[in-house]
A and B are shown apart, each in its own frame.
Chain A
Amino acid sequence: MHPGLRLEQVAAGYRQHRVERRIVDDVDAFAPAGQVTALLGPNGAGKSTLIRSLVGLQPLLAGSVTLTGADGRGSDLLQLSPRERARRTAVVLTERVEAGLLTGREVVELGRHPYLGLLGRLTNHDRQLIAGVLADLQATDLAGQRFAELSDGQRQRLLLARALVSEPELLVLDEPSAFLDVGARVDLLALLGRIARDRRITVLLSTHEVELALRMVDRLWLIHDHRVSTGAPAQLVDDGRIGRVFGTRHAHFDAPSGTFRVRT
């Protein structure tokens, strides 16, 4: 098996009073390790729902989610114990994190949670790992400050560091660029690309930044009409799928330039 994240016959949505409401259905998709995969789709298409369902934060309605490690052994993510799953996957969510009076470092240290004993004592290995990740993300200076007092971009970097110190095989980010400036969004995607390659891990992120994703990620999962289709960015542009899904009455997708234009 190829290392990466494989979805088979997945359905995600909500179950209320025993009635299922499937928001995305029949999903067969693959996100390879060492690459960045972006989940694209119009607002309300179910990007967050799908992403949360994959990592066990909300019940999957059907199908299986298999994470295959570098050793080629696959395991069904949702059959793992919460602790084991927490060791193999890490998330960065959209919701705002308050974190009380914790410092940046204390937030990042929480990433070691699935490995620690009852007292939560960090070993030297843990500390070195944390220091290494902080240095890698140029977040060492932020570590001493209170998390609540940092800017959105700085928080984002620390939350990413928190995710990485758990040494995940799968890193999932839900709208990670939502609160960032344009420049910071480009930086973030570049950083994620480097992380995926250097650490040989699978990176899956949801975004509604279509133009940026087309230019900067390796692979796309596109949600439309409750289904997911996948492919390389160029492929989805060429066969017109991007234009069909995101074009509106006033905006049309210009394939050669990879940008949206106002209809004239």
Chain B
Amino acid sequence: MVTARAATVTDELTSAVRPRLARSVATLILLFLAALLALGVGAAVGSVTIDWHDLVSYLISGRAHDPTTTVLLGEIRMPRVITAGAVGAGLAIAGLLMQTLFANPLADPYILGVSSGASLGVALITLGTGTLTGGFVSMVGGMRIGVVVAAAIGSAAVLLLILVIGRWVRSVVTLLIIGVMLSSAVGAITSLLLAFADPDRLQRFVMWGLGSYGGVTRSDLAVLLPLIIGAVALSGLLARSLNAMLLGELYARSMGVRSGVVRAVAMVLTAVIAGTVTAYCGPIAFLGMAVPHLARLVIGTSDHRVLMPATILMGVIASSVCSVLAQLPGDDAVLPINVTSALVGAPVVIMVLLRSRRLAGAV
């Protein structure tokens, strides 16, 4: 009797579970194809439109039909497209980590102040004329690498500070508030520098702050890609613990999750991603906060084992689309990424959230 009941129950169960899994896999495949398409369009569109024959032959043989296109693809388009994809995937995953960790749908990769640390670093190097930074500025200030290094040091410093503080703070809500406070305080120092800055130098800082994928070269990618791919891959190890965290930190701990470890790992990964992105592309706002919401709506679950791949692919798509929209067709001018992502992205996200109110606003 009991076994008979168990058997029918199992039948019902498999019939309930299988379609859900099948649907998730189908959605992921579609997202993957969409991501490829978005990357392809990203490579084709720009000051010169490259037709897809050229693109395919470049991808297969490493050269397009004419040398100019080969160079254009190899030196400009490919780095930009790969950067857009990596940045999108990285920021989206980092945003998801923070939203789940803090159980807060408004959290983003910069919530702990990592970008304000980077901004301060860059502000010091681009605006700094004082005796302290003067030497360093005259040494590397003219070079891009100076900006990258300064941003990396700035974000690492803020991360270190928040990790140290985090050791004494039990509640994630308190940690979140401390992150926001720290961010404001560091931002204030940057503002102070801006107030006394020479307008020419100010221009450079403002341009950096608007965000761009265009400045990343092939040699930059050798650093940027491994860092972001590594951090994104490692975040996959947290998937099961993050699922448990959805019930709240206490429940997670009661299930054997070492919440302190998960918290520290998630914070380090997020800071590595946000710090790397900010260093090379400037603070790219918006994507990290918005993409996880889109991914949840598309995949329809908060199960991180499915949601994480969906978020990565959705990040690639969103970031590539923003990058394409930033290219004014037939013109060399490129809009800052933060302009397109927020101007186009915000209405899209608002519309999607309003249309599916049932799922909206969850973590």
Tell whether A101 pairs with B296 under 8 Å between CB atoms, given A114-B255, A128-B6.
yes
In contact, A100 and B251 (Cβ under 8 angstroms): no
In contact, A100 and B255 (Cβ under 8 angstroms): no
Nearest chain-A residue to B359 (Cβ)? A101
Tell whether A57 pairs with B253 under 8 Å between CB atoms, given A97-B248, A107-B247, A144-B16.
yes
Of A90, A105, A116, A131, which contacts B240 at CB under 8 A? Answer: A116
Chain B, 11-49, contact with A by CB distance < 8 Å: what is the 0/1 string? Answer: 011101100000000000000000000000000000000
- Could you tell me which residues of chain B, from 230 to 248, have a CB within 8 Å of some CB in chain A? 237, 239-240, 243-244, 246-248
In contact, A110 and B256 (Cβ under 8 angstroms): no
A55 CA to B254 CA, complexed, in Å: 7
In contact, B9 and A135 (Cβ under 8 angstroms): yes
A117 to chain B, nearest CB (A): 9
In contact, A113 and B301 (Cβ under 8 angstroms): no
The verdict on A18 contacting chain B, using a C-beta distance below 8 Å, is no
A82 to chain B, nearest CB (A): 4
A-B pairs under 8 A by CB, number: 113
Tell whether A91 pairs with B246 under 8 Å between CB atoms, given A101-B296, A143-B16.
no
The verdict on A98 contacting chain B, using a C-beta distance below 8 Å, is yes
The verdict on A45 contacting chain B, using a C-beta distance below 8 Å, is no
Tell whether A110 pairs with B243 under 8 Å between CB atoms, given A98-B363, A127-B10, A148-B362.
yes
In contact, B301 and A102 (Cβ under 8 angstroms): yes
Tell whether A100 pairs with B240 under 8 Å between CB atoms, given A57-B254, A114-B256, A128-B9.
no
A103 CA to B258 CA, complexed, in Å: 24
Taking CB atoms, residues of chain B closer than 8 Å to A101 are 296, 300-302, 359, 362
Taking CB atoms, residues of chain B closer than 8 Å to A90 are 254
Nearest chain-B residue to A122 (Cβ)? B17
Residue in B6, B243, B251 whose Cβ sees the most chain A Cβ within 10 Å: B251
Taking CB atoms, residues of chain B closer than 8 Å to A87 are 256
Taking CB atoms, residues of chain A closer than 8 Å to B76 are none
The verdict on B194 contacting chain A, using a C-beta distance below 8 Å, is no
Nearest chain-B residue to A114 (Cβ)? B256
Of A85, A103, A127, A149, which contacts B256 at CB under 8 A? Answer: A85
Taking CB atoms, residues of chain A closer than 8 Å to B251 are 91, 93, 97
Taking CB atoms, residues of chain A closer than 8 Å to B14 are 127
A119 CA to B243 CA, complexed, in Å: 12
Of B6, B10, B13, B302, which contacts A102 at CB under 8 A? Answer: B302
Nearest chain-B residue to A149 (Cβ)? B358
In contact, B240 and A98 (Cβ under 8 angstroms): no
In contact, B305 and A132 (Cβ under 8 angstroms): no
- Could you tell me which residues of chain A, from 90 to 134, have a CB within 8 Å of some CB in chain B? 90-91, 93, 95, 97-103, 105-107, 110-111, 113-114, 116, 118-120, 124, 127-128, 130-132, 134
Chain A, 183-206, contact with B by CB distance < 8 Å: what is the 0/1 string? Answer: 000000000000000000000000
In contact, B362 and A118 (Cβ under 8 angstroms): no
Taking CB atoms, residues of chain A closer than 8 Å to B244 are 110, 113
Taking CB atoms, residues of chain B closer than 8 Å to A118 are 237, 240
In contact, B247 and A131 (Cβ under 8 angstroms): no
In contact, B254 and A89 (Cβ under 8 angstroms): yes
The verdict on B348 contacting chain A, using a C-beta distance below 8 Å, is no
A-B contact pairs, 15 of them (CB 8 A): A91-B251, A93-B248, A93-B251, A95-B248, A98-B362, A100-B246, A100-B362, A100-B363, A102-B302, A102-B303, A106-B243, A124-B10, A131-B13, A135-B9, A143-B16
Q: Point out residues on B near A: beta carbons under 8 Å.
A: 5-6, 9-10, 12-14, 16-17, 100, 103, 237, 239-240, 243-244, 246-248, 250-251, 253-258, 296, 300-303, 305, 358-359, 362-363
Q: Point out residues on A near B: beta carbons under 8 Å.
A: 52, 55-57, 81-87, 89-91, 93, 95, 97-103, 105-107, 110-111, 113-114, 116, 118-120, 124, 127-128, 130-132, 134-135, 140, 143-144, 148-149, 166
